Amino acid sequence: MISATKFTQPASKAARHFAGIRLLSSSPIVAAEKNANSSRPKADRTQSMAFTKKEAGSKRTRSGTSTSVNLSAANPAYYTDPPKPKLDLLSKDTATASRLNTFMQIDDGFLQNTGKGRYPGHLAADFKLFGKPALLYRQVTQTLVDQMAQNAETAPKRATVLDGQNGAGKSAELLKLATVAATSGHIVIYALSTLPWVNSSRPYGPGYKSDLFVQHELVNELLRSVVAVSRDALNKVPLGRSVTLGKKTLESEKTLADLIDLGLQTPSLAHDALDQLLDIARTQTVVPVFIGLDEVNTLWCQTSYRDQEDSILPANRFRLARSFLPFFEGQSLAKGWVVGTTSYAEVRFMPKDLKTKLNPPPAIPIANPDLVRDPGVSELSFDVLKVERLSSAEAWGLMQFYQKANIVTTPVTEGLVAKKWVYANGNPRQMFAGVTTYF
Amino acid sequence: MLHLLGVNLPDQKVVSVALTYFYGIGPLTARKICSRLSFHKECKLSELTEGQLNQLSGVLSEMTIENDLKRQVAANVQHLRQIGTYVGKRHAMGLPVHGQRTRGNSVTAKKLNGKMLRKYSTVADTAFTRQAMGMFQSPLSKHQN
């Protein structure tokens, strides 16, 4: 008999259901959760918490360090700060054989003064991922640094041009060399790209009473970079003779820095100032000079500029190219070094005959006396240094750094390095592409 | 927008492209103008100085463009019609001039040809009015009647 006052559990499951009893009640669990959630703010479903909306009207995808993710609201488990490996700054003191196969940081101030935020070759993508401008110190780098130290005492009779495949590291080597030269007290005249000199992207005009064309803006930029990087060295070199630029005359006691400052004051005098600078700098023996031109093949190419009759202009019709051509055609410095690098990226600015001379076909074993006498076959007027593929030790150093910079997340083993090195054929740019394919 | 010789040119365009906005100047003529005035390929209109703009105006003033060119073309077509040439008649009829087929296509010719002639007429441009004005008559039929 069931008591009216006492509640007893019914016998069957169905009966229990109809009696309103649940064996496992979720209500306490739900209630507990509600109590816990009451302290948390209600989710605003009208606004995204992690992702910010792209700006209307701009269809270009944003690149660089900024992303469309609102990092302040992002999940910290997934969005972490990139690692910043500590690197030594590349300079005259740190450029030693003990740093072989390690990454060294390039002085950002030097890059800002010479490039204004631009980087030579394809290095922009690399530096962006690294978080800072850093390059591998290779054996070829050590060779070049030793040669530069030697040439600081006695300059060679010919200029040197670094040649190699696309992505071999020619522009990187020149950048490292220029950085070391700047810290060594050289007068550094470094152009990280000579493409703007010939690709019709910068203003130009006919020269006054001359058949040469002038590019005042480019020369102005070059002079600014020279004085920003090497002011101390320029101040040590007196002019040695009175120099007249326009209506102003500088006494012989004045220095090269004063000459450049005068040239910068009046854009139309920039070319004259550069010519005087090169003329005095190459003959003086007080301070060694480093002239570095990237994509030096443009000095011999057909430019994209046109004259008043709409004919294409060769590079030697421009005063800026004319100022540097003699250094690659036999004129030497008293102290210092002239280095250039080739570039095969823009094929239209690589003259065919220069390409053939740099990469001659296999030599025919039988000497052809007619060819020897042929005046069209002439030797190059500069020395060529080939930048070869990475060695195994250099590849190991490269991958080690990639792991430190979180570009490679898997453990770096000999097998992995060998695989990447072989697939890329030792080419640094291809190795970089191989590890960043899915970025 | 830069207003030059009666034409609004977009400031942010490259000069050689902006010049093609003139009637009578195409890419080749624009390039020749830029070469003559030593404007580099990537030079934008907004980057030109006042002196360069004056030089540009001077060069453009020497050329036959815009309304002068339109007037010249219209006068050429009128002349062809007045002396009774085949080409003139085809312009007047609004049919293809260069020997194209009229069995099909010829839509563009019917739309555009003879505009310069029709421009000066106050009569409605229909097949009936053209017939009424005797434009479909052959040269011989005039003498036969």
Cβ distance A387 to A423 under 8 Å?
A: no
Q: Can you point out the beta strands (E) in A260-332?
A: 289-293, 302-306, 312-314
Q: Give the relative orientation of helices A216-235 and A108-115 as an angle to the nearest 10 degrees.
A: 140
d(CA A166, CA A432): 13
Query: pLDDT band at A129, cuts 50/70/90?
Result: confident
Query: pLDDT band at A367, cuts 50/70/90?
Result: low
d(CA A111, CA A133): 9
Per-residue pLDDT, A297:
94
Where does residue B101 rank: exposed (0-12), middle (13-18), buried (19+ CB within 10 A)? exposed
Q: Do B40 and A309 touch (CB under 8 A)?
A: no
Percent of chain A clearing pLDDT 70 (strictly above):
79
Ranked by mean pLDDT, which of A38-47, A48-57, A420-429 comes out on top? A420-429
Per-residue pLDDT, A61:
47
Q: What are phi and psi of A314, to 5 degrees?
A: -80, 165
- pLDDT of A372 above 90: no
- Provide the ipTM: 0.74
- pLDDT of A120 above 90: no
Cβ distance A408 to A432 under 8 Å?
A: no
Mean of pLDDT over chain A: 84
Q: Which strands form A88-89's sheet, in the order they lie side by side? A: A88-89, A103-105, A134-136
- pLDDT of A1 above 50: no
Per-residue pLDDT, B86:
96
Per-residue pLDDT, A364:
58
- pLDDT of A360 above 90: no
d(CA A196, CA A208): 22
Higher pLDDT, B65 or A27: B65
Query: pLDDT band at A53, cuts 50/70/90?
Result: low
Q: Amino acid identity, residue A31?
A: A
Residue A319: list chain B partners with CB under 8 A.
Answer: none
Per-residue pLDDT, A352:
87
The predicted model gives B113-142 an average pLDDT of 58
Q: Using one digit for the tens of pLDDT, what is the confidence trace for A89-116?
A: 999 999 999 999 999 999 988 998 998 7
The Cα diameter of chain B in Å comes to 68
Cβ distance A171 to A428 under 8 Å?
A: no
Q: Do B35 and A205 touch (CB under 8 A)?
A: no
User: Would an 8 Å CB–CB cutoff place B122 in contact with chain A?
Assistant: no
Higher pLDDT, B133 or A234: A234
The predicted model gives A340-353 an average pLDDT of 91
User: Would an 8 Å CB–CB cutoff place A307 in contact with chain B?
Assistant: yes
Which helix (H) or strand (E) element contains residue B51? helix B50-62
Query: pLDDT band at B144, cuts 50/70/90?
Result: very low
Per-residue pLDDT, A3:
41
Query: A49-63, A207-221, A393-407 — which is least confidently predicted?
Result: A49-63
Q: Using one digit for the tens of pLDDT, what is the confidence trace for B30-53?
A: 999 999 999 999 999 999 999 999
User: Would an 8 Å CB–CB cutoff place A211 in contact with chain B?
Assistant: no
> What part of B 20-49 touches A (C-beta under 8 Å)?
31-32, 34-36, 38, 40-43
- pLDDT of B110 above 50: yes
- Report which of A318, A250, A248, A320 is spatially closest to residue A280, judged by C-alpha positions: A250
* DSSP count for chain B of H helices, then E strands: 9, 2
Per-residue pLDDT, B120:
53
Per-residue pLDDT, A336:
94
Chain A: closest CA distance from residue B71 (Å): 29
Percent of chain A clearing pLDDT 90 (strictly above):
60
d(CA A184, CA A178): 10
The predicted model gives A394-408 an average pLDDT of 92
Q: Using one digit for the tens of pLDDT, what is the confidence trace for A156-197?
A: 889 999 999 999 999 999 999 999 999 999 999 999 999 999
Where does residue B99 rank: exposed (0-12), middle (13-18), buried (19+ CB within 10 A)? exposed
- pLDDT of A31 above 70: no
Q: Do B31 and A306 touch (CB under 8 A)?
A: yes
The token duo for A323 is 């100022």
Ordered DSSP codes for A169-210:
SHHHHHHHHHHHHHHTT-EEEEES--GGGTSS-S--EEPTTS
> What three-state secondary structure class fits A437?
coil
Per-residue pLDDT, A84:
79
Per-residue pLDDT, A376:
47
Query: pLDDT band at B131, cuts 50/70/90?
Result: low
Cβ distance A424 to A165 under 8 Å?
A: no
Instruction: Please tell me the pTM assigned to this model.
Output: 0.78
Residue B36: list chain A partners with CB under 8 A.
Answer: 308, 310
Q: Do A308 and B38 touch (CB under 8 A)?
A: yes
Q: Using one digit for the tens of pLDDT, what is the confidence trace for A269-311?
A: 999 999 999 999 999 999 999 999 999 999 999 999 999 999 9
Q: How many CB atoms lie within 10 A of CB A338?
A: 27
Say if strands A312-314 and A302-306 run parallel, antiparallel, or are unpaired: antiparallel
Q: Cα B133 from chain centroid?
A: 26
Query: pLDDT band at B128, cuts 50/70/90?
Result: low
The predicted model gives A359-368 an average pLDDT of 65
Query: pLDDT band at A21, cuts 50/70/90?
Result: very low
Chain B: closest CA distance from residue A196 (Å): 11
Q: Using one digit for the tens of pLDDT, what is the confidence trace for A319-344?
A: 999 999 999 998 989 999 999 999 99
* Best mutation target, A200, A318, A320, to test chain B (most B CBs within 10 A): A200
